[in-house]
A = this chain, B = another copy of it.
Amino acid sequence: MNDVTPRRVTSADVARLAGVSRATVSYVLNNTPHQTISAGTRARVLDAAAGLGYAPSAAARTLRTGRSDVVLCLLPDWPIGHEVGALLANLSAELDRAGLTFLAHPGTRRPAGHLWRSINPAAVLSFRRFSAEETESMLGAGVAPVVAPLSRPDTPEGPQQRIGNLQAAHLAAAGHTRIGYAYPDDDRVRAFADPRLEGVRARCAELGLAPPLVRTVPLEPEPAAGVVREWRASGVTAVCAYNDEVALAVLAGRETPDGPAVIGVDDIPAARLATPALTTVTTDQAAVAVHLATAVLAAVHGEPEPVLDLACAIRVVARASA
């Protein structure tokens, strides 16, 4: 008669099977520096561990060391789409390579303090800024707070601004002088929309163009058509959109094929399938993931954040719409 509850295999089981002490098992499996283990013993331990299918308890390890190998990512409450999905997948793979476990928590509205207080993650990655007390509290608990550089509205030369820059530059290079900006109809994405718009403004000013004519564009054809008429009346011949989706709304709002040129952001799958095919600014999510991963690793090891340039990961995909 077997046990009804087949207990978890612990390092003690491995030790017993290998004929050594539990400490030795720990030293071998973590190959602790400054510990001398004979080759034979090491092999016996590794064999025993593999044979029993031993996997250390994250709970016990976390309890002992005070820190887990989890990187907790707090997802924002705005809709996560194709590009964020790709980013998460790449980031997970990247951190996995460094021995960290990437876990994402979709945003509950309430303050996530409870979460990282109980999980004891190595780092917390967020897309919004932390409050001063949050930061202090996390540092006090030994948790490394990391804010995705994607969403730093404070730097005037941040990646979001660069996106706007490229949009405006592309339109200007095509000869457009009066530019509109299609602002999203969703308050939750302001943190992204504002710096992008800022980037467009800056580039327009730099090129001696009039500042962009900003209008909020809902994701419905009829209201969008109204906005497009407004732009046409004001002499706007090209539009930077917050998003590919907003850009598609602008396209849908054009009553005639000679409407304003449009450039979006993200290169979602639908972009190349639109008529006309949507010109857009894309971000190399794999490169961003690598960047974020190194930032997280640096924070975990207490090193200063590396200054890496994301500019090269952002580029224009020229298609028919602009």
Q: Which residues of B contact A120 (CB under 8 A)?
A: 57-59
A6 touches B102 (CB 8 A): no
Which of A20-28, A34-42, A82-90, A175-183 sits within the interface? A82-90
CB distance from A80 to the nearest CB of B (A): 4
**At the interface, yes or no: A106 with Cβ under 8 Å from chain B?**
yes
A169–B251 CA distance with the chains assembled, in angstroms: 31
Which of A192-200, A268-276, A298-306 sits within the interface? A268-276
**At the interface, yes or no: A208 with Cβ under 8 Å from chain B?**
no
CB distance from A97 to the nearest CB of B (A): 9
**A65-105 vs B, Cβ < 8 Å mask (1 yes, 0 no):** 01010000001010111101110110111001000011111
A244–B82 CA distance with the chains assembled, in angstroms: 13
Choice from B62, B77, B272 contacting A59 with Cβ under 8 Å:
B62
Choice from B88, B118, B249 contacting A106 with Cβ under 8 Å:
B88
A59–B220 CA distance with the chains assembled, in angstroms: 48
B102 touches A105 (CB 8 A): yes
Q: Which residues of B contact A88 (CB under 8 A)?
A: 75, 80, 106
- The size class of the interface chain A forms with chain B is 35 or more
Q: Known contacts being A248-B270, A273-B221, is A118 close to B79, with CB within 8 Å?
A: no
B119 touches A58 (CB 8 A): yes
**At the interface, yes or no: A233 with Cβ under 8 Å from chain B?**
no
CB distance from A192 to the nearest CB of B (A): 16
Choice from B68, B106, B141 contacting A104 with Cβ under 8 Å:
B106
Q: Which residues of B contact A270 (CB under 8 A)?
A: 244-245, 248, 268, 270, 274
Which of A44-52, A107-115, A122-130, A155-163 sits within the interface? A107-115
A167–B75 CA distance with the chains assembled, in angstroms: 33
Q: Which residues of B contact A310 (CB under 8 A)?
A: none
Q: Which residues of B contact A96 (CB under 8 A)?
A: 108
**At the interface, yes or no: A227 with Cβ under 8 Å from chain B?**
no
Q: Which residues of B contact A101 (CB under 8 A)?
A: 105, 115, 119
Choice from B91, B107, B275 contacting A252 with Cβ under 8 Å:
B275
**At the interface, yes or no: A117 with Cβ under 8 Å from chain B?**
yes
Q: Known contacts being A119-B58, A273-B219, A273-B251, is A107 close to B85, with CB within 8 Å?
A: no
**At the interface, yes or no: A55 with Cβ under 8 Å from chain B?**
yes
Q: Which residues of B contact A92 (CB under 8 A)?
A: 105-108
**At the interface, yes or no: A60 with Cβ under 8 Å from chain B?**
yes
**At the interface, yes or no: A140 with Cβ under 8 Å from chain B?**
yes
CB distance from A39 to the nearest CB of B (A): 26
Choice from B56, B89, B108, B224 contacting A107 with Cβ under 8 Å:
B89
26 contacts between A and B (CB under 8 A): A8-B141, A55-B114, A57-B120, A58-B120, A59-B60, A59-B63, A79-B82, A80-B88, A81-B81, A81-B85, A84-B85, A92-B106, A92-B107, A96-B108, A101-B115, A102-B106, A103-B103, A219-B269, A220-B273, A221-B273, A245-B270, A248-B274, A249-B273, A252-B273, A252-B275, A270-B274
7 nearest A-B residue pairs (beta carbon): A58-B118, A59-B62, A80-B85, A55-B117, A270-B270, A92-B106, A59-B63
